[in-house]
Amino acid sequence: MSTVKKIQHQISENPILLYMKGSPNMPSCGFSAQAVKALSACGEPFAYVDILQHHDIRTELPKYANWPTFPQLWVDSELIGGCDIIVELFQQGELQILIKKTAEKYKKSK
């Protein structure tokens, strides 16, 4: 499977997906830690990919997404953005609404 196909598969299979450095329990950079903190506070499970363990994804995803930095939050197959956007949306209460709505949508479709 090509790297782009792998990325597309991950995004389509995971309604809430964070591409990050490290894991939610052990983020490897401050930006990923902030993103995890905001996302975790929304109270819904989310998937993650540690880009430090997947050099191919780390190289290809910025081109695929047209977004140069990590972390990257994808919700319902759409790129939401990186750390600053995630934190800003959380502070405005918009991230919580988006995450809850997406989680509910996918719970019903199972």
> pLDDT digits over 37-87, tens only?
999 999 999 999 999 999 999 999 999 999 999 999 999 999 999 999 999
Averaged pLDDT for residues 2-15 = 97
Architecture in CATH for domain 3-105: 3-Layer(aba) Sandwich (3.40)
* 83 marked among binding-site residues: yes
* 29 marked among binding-site residues: yes
Angle at 23 between CA 21 and CA 94, to 5 degrees: 85
Helices (H) and strands (E) in the chain, counts: 5, 4
Give the predicted TM-score (pTM) of the model.
0.95
Q: Which residues pair with 68 in a beta bridge?
A: none
* 58 marked among binding-site residues: yes
Mean of per-residue pLDDT scores for the chain: 96
Residue 108's pLDDT band, with cuts at 50, 70 and 90, is confident
Model pLDDT, residue 1: 87
* 84 marked among binding-site residues: yes
CA dihedral for 99, 101, 107, 110, sign (positive or negative): negative
